[in-house]
Amino acid sequence: KDARLDKCPNQDIIDQLQELLDIHQSKPGQEDRWRVLSYSKSIRALRTHPKRIKTLNEARNIQGIGEKTAMKIMEIIETGKLRRIQFERTEDVEVTRMFQGIYGVGQSTAQKWYANGCRTLEDLTSGKYGVKLTPAQEIGIRYYDAQDINSRMPRSEAKAIFELIKPIALEIDPGLFVEIMGSYRRGKADCGDIDILITRNPDDGRSHAGKSATEHRILRRLFPALRGAGIITEDLALPDDPSEEEVIYRGLCHLPQEGSRQRRIDFLTVPWKSKGAALLYYTGDDVFNRAMRLKANVLGYSLNQRGLFSGVVRDPRDRRVKLNQGTLIASETEEEIFHILGVPWQEPHERMR
């Protein structure tokens, strides 16, 4: 857990509001969406509030906390809980939240299953409700009770697994750059999964795979090797298009020893020229990335895991759709991307809310 959060003097209040937020998050209404926004704003404000709240006035006067939330805060302070939570925890909320706990299941799928009459995990696999599970969802259900792929692993376990993987990758191609990214690179004490970035310098003379070895071909050899070593146990999403330069793999892995837990693992491979942009993207966190992309957009650029581009034309009807590739401005190092965006350098551990 984040050490800063443990010291928060209003943690019990945050926990209760977070619970209420989670409940509204699993509901479909517009009202619920507003509540989610409002509670997350309040929680952010509470996290940075330096002292224990004691009075209604104190709660009201905190920037970001409205009247209704201030009343809830008082209820928590006086009674230790929120009656509203019991009241909101109806069957549909409980069931859709349970379904959303399955790897690969989002809100809309969970709600659809509930509407079709499903109430338990057994209902989903019974074939009685016309549910069509993806392969990833089937694995998610299989491992649901193990609580493995939904729980975070200690940093040391991520490190141990990575230290088994790296030499296997380098044996396939000594010219590879193989690094562990995500929350691990940001120095977190625990990790939700293991994120590994792979790229390869095509001009590296040490490589015996030859210049024509694409990222895709490397992975095609790597995954069977990792399975053979007993590290990778299940594929959740395999690379789909072999012609793509950028490849994503999602799977499950564990330490090849008795009693070890199944953990989530992601691989991303990018061309060497995208290394800096990929490091930046894959280190995160996601909120930091959103801020960087926004900064790029304000300056008329477009930023993604392949690089910083200029002159990208977007569809006015849907800004997410790009009508052209644009011109590559920077992608080889993280530093140059920070520099061009005018953002002071931040070490990985500083890149979070």
- Judged by CB under 5 A, does residue 123 bind Mn ion? no
Q: Name every residue whose Cβ is closer than 8 Å to that of residue 115 and which is 6 or more positions away in sequence.
A: none
**Min separation Cβ 195 and ligand DCP, Å:** 5
Site for Mg ion, residues 144 to 183, rule: CB under 5 A:
182-183
Distance CA 206, CA 4 (A): 45
Strand 263-269 vs strand 194-200: parallel, antiparallel, or unpaired?
parallel
Query: Residue 179 interacts with Mn ion (CB under 5 A)?
Result: no
- Between CA 154 and CA 146 the distance in angstroms is 17
Least distance in angstroms from the C-beta of 186 to ligand DCP: 7
Nearer to Mg ion, 169 or 181 (CB): 181
- Is 195 an interacting residue with respect to Mg ion (CB under 5 A)? yes
Selection from 298, 295, 301 nearest residue 322 by Cα: 301
Cβ atoms within 10 Å, residue 23: 22
Q: Is 183 in the site for ligand DCP (CB under 6 A)?
A: yes
- Structural contact between residues 186 and 348, judged by C-beta atoms closer than 8 angstroms: yes
Length of the chain: 353
Rule CB under 6 A: say whether 173 interacts with ligand DCP: no
148 near ligand DCP (CB under 6 A): no
Cα separation, 173 vs 180, in Å, equals 17
- Residue 193 makes contact with Mn ion by CB under 5 A: yes
Q: Please identify every residue annotated as catalytic.
A: 72
- Comparison of 21 and 292: residue with beta carbon closer to ligand DCP: 292
Specify the residue, 183 or 199, whose C-beta has the smaller distance to ligand DCP: 183
Q: Pattern 260-289, binding to ligand DCP, x per CB under 6 A?
A: ---------------------xx-xxx--x
Q: Which residue has the tokens 């906390």?
A: 65
Least separation in angstroms between CB 321 and ligand DCP: 18
Kindly report the number of other CB atoms within 10 A of residue 115's CB atom.
10
Closest CA to 76 of 18, 1, 4: 18
Window of 189-197, 206-214, 282-290, 320-328 that interacts with Mn ion by CB under 5 A: 189-197
Selection from 133, 130, 95 nearest residue 111 by Cα? 95
Give me the residues that bind Mn ion (CB under 5 A), please.
193, 195, 266
Give me the residues that bind Mg ion (CB under 5 A), please.
182-183, 193, 195
Give me the residues that bind ligand DCP (CB under 6 A), please.
182-183, 191-193, 195, 281-282, 284-286, 289
